């Protein structure tokens, strides 16, 4: 017999389990390419929930009656919440919310009217950090784990004509078993910080669609996946190539190679083609650049030609908006990268907004995109591996058609243990299984006993990333000389991080920490060694802008990593900015508009 106990929630520590069963995963992601969507951005009601009372007391199931009509008291009232914008990070909305880590509830209403018979409706979320649980008209739809990748939940059965109430619980607690774990070196923003949209789809729709050059470069491989395991025929079209072909679909999937010679996408010629995928009443349209990327020995080849990656790392961080970004913000960072002479950016240390790769496609910049398998992940935990693998899969499926993305990063500065090796080998294999057309990489640590690049993971990677800070955390450069001389990697190495903090305006001669002068001299010393090492195929300087991180609390840092070549205002250039631009300019101007060759 069930006993009606109004105080049960006070003693129930298993309150969240039921809500974590139906979690969205990569397999349920739906492409938005070329589709008409209804934006649900704008003002939402927002209530902090430090103790998860909303899940314990089922706030989502409450009616909207005002307090004057309540029969018993409640601990939640939707209309009492603050009005906040979505997308946004709660940390930047009020000073008292700056360091909040916990749960919060978002609520908004929208009108919906039925469309075609058999129509299906999806809710698409760009990202929410870290766990999101979604409720529609008082019914749980499901949720998502992972703070930087998109997810979809089907709303079809729970929509009603007219006014609908959408509620999203978001929590951003740092935990040892998450990806990233609780110890990180950037700011832990929380909230619905990317766009939310409603998508109408036919009864059977295209879930994923991709097109890429084959390894030989003589054909385009088209692939399609449908929402249901049905048989049929899809159509693929590239009008400017005069290409139209039938793609057989069996049990909801199909692949087809079509001989073609499209103009190649490259940094000097970022050519994009309009590609259409059609199945029955559904159409997906993409703008895709066709290129090949591979390795040969210690070289990285783009379209069969060696390329040297002149790059810079960048975080998603803004003084006013936190992790929220815009086209204007993305184009500004690309403009600054171009001023440096870059052809390449490393998107640290998590998936950035999907518009980054889209705009990079247009502007001709190459990207390293990665998941936050950062430092001491719980490598022995199967649930943590499942989380990391799902985040990587969502990133790859989201950006599968972006020519600018040439590297999938599977980890950063992880100690070389047996558990870590098994964990990251699985990620590297997942990346290759989902996308054999791109390269895999990780930012590796060195063998400190032999002082050599010898990470066991390197065997399973296409490109070895090397984070090194000789001249900064390790005071002189003799260790770098020793490391470069001792190493025989046998495959390309990218200096995936190197840099020195500089407080804007702080000056001093010699090795005086936090001066602009030493940051500039640091890059001169680094570049002299890096550019003379044959197996190094690129450099991603750490980093473009100063960014928030509460780990750093000296008088010069005050909660910021100061290794940016520009200050956190994204305007003030440091001496290191001009120095690195001059150093990149010394590289030979090669076939890829300055993309290749050391002098």
Looking at residue 9, its pLDDT comes to 78
Picking from 461, 458, 422, 459, the residue whose alpha carbon sits closest to that of residue 438 is: 461
Domain ranges of the chain: 8-201, 206-291, 309-585
Q: Residue 15: pLDDT above 90?
A: no
Q: Which residue has the tokens 């449908």?
A: 226
Looking at residue 2, its pLDDT comes to 53
State how far Cα 70 lies from the chain centre: 45
Q: Which CATH class is domain 8-201?
A: mainly beta
Taking residues 78-86, report their average pLDDT: 97
Q: What is the residue-wise DSSP string for 92-139?
A: GT-GGGTT--SEEEEEEEEEE---STT-EEEEEES--BSEEEEEETTE
Count of CA atoms in the C-beta half-sphere (13 A) of 442: 34
Instruction: Find residue 301's DSSP bridge partners.
Output: 294, 306
pTM (whole model) above 0.85: yes
How far is it, in rounded angstroms, from Cα 149 to Cα 354? Answer: 9
How far is it, in rounded angstroms, from Cα 469 to Cα 561? Answer: 14
Token pair for residue 26? 């990569």
Q: What is the residue-wise DSSP string for 368-392?
A: EEE---BSS--TT-HHHHHHHHHHH
Residue 334: exposure state from Cβ atoms within 10 A (0-12, 13-18, ≥19): buried
% the chain with pLDDT above 90: 93
Q: What is the DSSP letter of 209?
A: E
pLDDT tens, position by position, 283-303: 999 999 999 999 999 999 999
pLDDT tens, position by position, 523-574: 999 999 999 999 999 999 999 999 999 999 999 999 999 999 999 999 999 9
Looking at residue 3, its pLDDT comes to 58
Listed in sequence order, the residues at least 6 apart from 520 whose beta carbon sits closer than 8 Å to its beta carbon are: 574, 575, 576, 578, 579
Looking at residue 1, its pLDDT comes to 43
Q: Which CATH class is domain 206-291?
A: mainly beta
pLDDT tens, position by position, 45-72: 999 999 999 999 999 999 999 999 999 9
Compute φ and ψ for 21, nearest 5 degrees.
-80, -40
- Domain 309-585 adopts which CATH fold? TIM Barrel (3.20.20)
Taking residues 112-121, report their average pLDDT: 93
Q: Residue 584: pLDDT above 80?
A: yes
How far is it, in rounded angstroms, from Cα 311 to Cα 367? Answer: 9
Q: Which residue has the tokens 């669609």?
A: 209
């Amino acid at each position: 017999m069930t006993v009606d106990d109004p105080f049960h929630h006070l003693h129930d520590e298993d309150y969240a389990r039921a809500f974590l069963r139906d979690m969205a995963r990569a397999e349920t992601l739906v492409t938005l390419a070329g589709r008409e969507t209804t934006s649900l951005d704008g003002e939402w009601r927002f209530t902090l929930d430090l103790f998860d009372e909303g899940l314990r007391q089922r706030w989502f199931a409450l009616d909207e009656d005002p307090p004057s009509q309540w029969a018993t008291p409640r601990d939640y009232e939707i209309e009492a919440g603050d009005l906040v914008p979505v997308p946004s990070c709660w940390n930047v909305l009020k000073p008292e919310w700056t360091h909040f880590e916990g749960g919060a509830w978002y609520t908004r209403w929208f009108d919906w009217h039925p469309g075609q018979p058999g129509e299906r409706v999806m809710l698409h979320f760009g990202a929410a950090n870290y766990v999101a649980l979604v409720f529609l008209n008082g019914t749980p739809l499901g949720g998502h784990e992972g703070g930087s990748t998109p997810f979809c939940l089907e709303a079809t059965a729970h929509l009603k004509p007219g006014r609908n109430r959408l509620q999203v619980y978001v929590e951003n607690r740092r935990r040892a078993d998450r990806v990233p774990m609780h110890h990180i070196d950037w700011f832990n923003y929380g909230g619905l910080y990317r766009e939310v949209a409603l998508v109408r789809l036919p009864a059977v729709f295209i879930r994923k669609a991709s097109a890429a050059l084959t390894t030989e470069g003589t054909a385009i491989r088209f692939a399609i996946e449908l929402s249901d395991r049905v048989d049929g025929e899809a159509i693929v079209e590239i009008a400017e190539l005069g290409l139209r072909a039938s793609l057989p679909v069996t049990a909801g999937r199909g692949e087809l190679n079509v001989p073609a010679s499209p103009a190649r996408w490259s940094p000097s010629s970022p050519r994009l083609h309009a590609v259409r995928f059609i199945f029955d009443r559904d159409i997906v349209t993409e703008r895709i650049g066709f290129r090949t990327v591979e390795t040969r020995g210690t070289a990285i080849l783009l379209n069969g030609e060696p390329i040297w990656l002149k790059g810079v790392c960048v975080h998603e961080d803004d003084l006013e908006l936190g992790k929220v970004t815009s086209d204007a913000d993305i184009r500004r960072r690309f403009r600054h990268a171009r001023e440096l002479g870059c052809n390449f950016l490393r998107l640290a240390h998590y998936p950035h907004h999907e518009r980054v790769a889209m705009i990079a496609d247009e502007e001709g910049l190459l990207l390293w995109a990665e998941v936050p398998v950062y430092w001491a992940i719980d490598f022995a935990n199967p649930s943590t591996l499942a989380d990391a693998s799902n985040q990587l899969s969502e990133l790859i499926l989201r950006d599968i058609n972006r020519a600018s993305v040439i590297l999938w990063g599977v980890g950063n500065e992880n100690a070389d243990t047996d558990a870590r090796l098994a964990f990251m080998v699985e990620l590297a294999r997942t990346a290759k299984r989902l996308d054999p057309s791109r390269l895999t990489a990780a930012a590796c640590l060195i063998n400190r006993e032999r002082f050599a690049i010898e990470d066991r993971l390197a065997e399973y990677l296409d490109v070895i990333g090397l984070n090194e800070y000789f001249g900064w955390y390790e005071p002189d450069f003799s260790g770098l000389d020793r490391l470069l001389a001792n190493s025989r990697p046998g495959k390309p190495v990218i200096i995936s991080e190197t840099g020195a903090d500089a407080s804007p305006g702080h000056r001093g001669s010699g090795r005086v920490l936090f001066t602009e002068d030493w940051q500039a001299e640091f890059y001169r010393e680094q570049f002299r060694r890096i550019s003379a090492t044959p197996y190094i195929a690129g450099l991603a300087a750490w980093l473009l802008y100063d960014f928030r991180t509460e780990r750093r609390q000296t008088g010069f840092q005050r909660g910021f990593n100061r290794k940016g070549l520009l200050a956190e205002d994204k305007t003030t250039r440091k001496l290191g900015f001009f120095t690195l631009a001059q150093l990149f300019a010394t590289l030979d101007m090669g076939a890829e508009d300055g993309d290749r060759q050391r002098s």
